[in-house]
A and B are shown apart, each in its own frame.
Chain A
Amino acid sequence: MDVIKKIIEGVNNLPTLPTVYTNLSQAMENPNTTKEEIARIISADQAATFKILKVANSPFYGLRGRIDTITQALLYLGFNEVKNIVFALSIINAFSKNKIFKKFKPLDLWAHSIGVGVATRLIGAAVGEKNLENYFLAGIFHDIGKLVFFEYVPNDYAKVIELVESKKIPIKDAELEILGLNHARAGQLIAEKWKLPQSVVNIVSSHHTGLIGNNVNTLLASVHLGDIVARSLDLGYGGDNFIPEPNIKVWEILKLPKGFFASARKKMKDDYERLTKIMLSE
């Protein structure tokens, strides 16, 4: 199992995340850190600050007022949401976006992931979830396993992509056939390595089924559905053209209003356009 070995080695030698994120994480774990200090840590990275403010001001968060400073962003979005945005930006920049692949490139994957992030959060809001802070990140992160493949076994992944084209099968099946594991499993390895919250680890490992064991939780159901919606609306490209069948249980967990998809469609596409522009630009 050469491939799996390469992947595990790669995960163990992951690129270090940018300073701003590691400093921020540490500061937030310390109960004595003041919000001024947190604002200062983030503001020290101008490029990150600029992007965070743009994200915070996008209609996605529904904040009509101007967010001019990191302190305001922390106030209106909450510490965890801001930390998650910093994290998302960090990982997007940690991996090479411009690897040359035919048909399916890391940039396509990021666009798809942001699309799923948008859809997931809108679904969560629509079902009345009070705590949405991990929804956007969970959506962005759900397919991180594919990035592991792009980064550490690119030649094998190129074969996977070719198999998708020739046999017209979902990418997760092609991954299993050629690599011996799919991106859900690879993603789980990386999520555990980075010590992400268990809820996010579960998303990565189980977003295809939408279930952990026999239990459905709202966040997982939202990502499961968000992935399907993002594919339906062609928000980025996840490696194949399939629109998977939703797990029937998600409709019991997610009490969405009738007509939700039709009415949310435009907002999802608009938010997706804006956020990809902000988050994927150099």
Chain B
Amino acid sequence: MSKLISVDEIQDGMVLAEPIQNRFGHTLLGANIKLEAKHVKFLKSCGIQTIYIVDENENSSNKQYDSETLEKAKAILSQRVTWRPKNDYENELIEIATQQILEKM
């Protein structure tokens, strides 16, 4: 899975998730290249401002939240969801909505 970052945020060791092409379709950098600081200047000179890197932190969504934050999120959610989930699918929907609220806080 990939993560969108600004070219300024490139750090050594990041891996390019997809090839970067210019508007003529020429590949400037191929996918899976290990990025280094030297790439920043090059990309900027080609007018590239954002790139996709391989996201190692898939588990960032399992971050632990304290109970006060969770309570706040629940309160926000109850303004937006005025119904009770009736099955697993609806529970999942509520979960992703809650996750979204927590991430925005």
Contacts and interface: CB of A to CB of B under 8 A. Distances in A.
A66 B21 contact: yes
A244 B79 CA distance: 11
B96 to A, nearest CB: 5
Given A66-B25, A243-B81, A270-B4, A232 B100 contact: yes
Given A50-B23, A242-B82, A251 B4 contact: no
Interface stretch (B8-16, B36-44, B65-73, B85-93): B85-93
B4 A273 contact: yes
A266 B83 contact: no
B63 interface: no
Contacts of A245: 82-83
Interface string A258-273: 1111100111001001
Contact of B89 (A231, A242, A251, A273): A251
Interface residues of B, number: 25
Q: How large is the interface on A (under 10, 10 to 19, 20 to 34, 35 or more residues)?
A: 20 to 34
B81 to A, nearest CB: 5
B95 interface: yes
Contacts of B89: 246, 251, 256, 261
A232 B97 contact: yes
B86 A248 contact: yes
A256 B81 CA distance: 22
Interface in A99-123: none
Contacts of B87: 251
B105 interface: no
A246 B90 contact: yes
Contact of B92 (A68, A262, A270): A262
Nearest to B95: A262
Contacts of A50: 23
Contacts of B90: 246
A243 B80 contact: yes
Nearest to B23: A50
A241 B77 CA distance: 10
Given A50-B23, A251-B87, A229 B93 contact: yes
Contacts of B81: 242-243
Contacts of A258: 88
Contacts of A232: 93, 96-97, 100
A228 interface: yes
A17 interface: no
Contacts of B4: 270, 273-274
A246 B96 CA distance: 15
A242 B80 contact: yes
Contacts of B80: 231, 241-243
A233 interface: yes
A265 to B, nearest CB: 5
Nearest to B19: A66
28 contacts: A50-B23, A59-B2, A59-B18, A68-B25, A228-B93, A229-B96, A231-B80, A233-B96, A233-B97, A233-B100, A234-B100, A242-B80, A242-B82, A243-B80, A246-B93, A248-B86, A251-B87, A256-B89, A261-B89, A261-B93, A262-B92, A262-B96, A265-B96, A265-B99, A266-B1, A267-B1, A270-B1, A270-B4
Interface of B: 1-2, 4, 18, 21, 23, 25, 79-83, 86-90, 92-93, 95-97, 99-100, 104
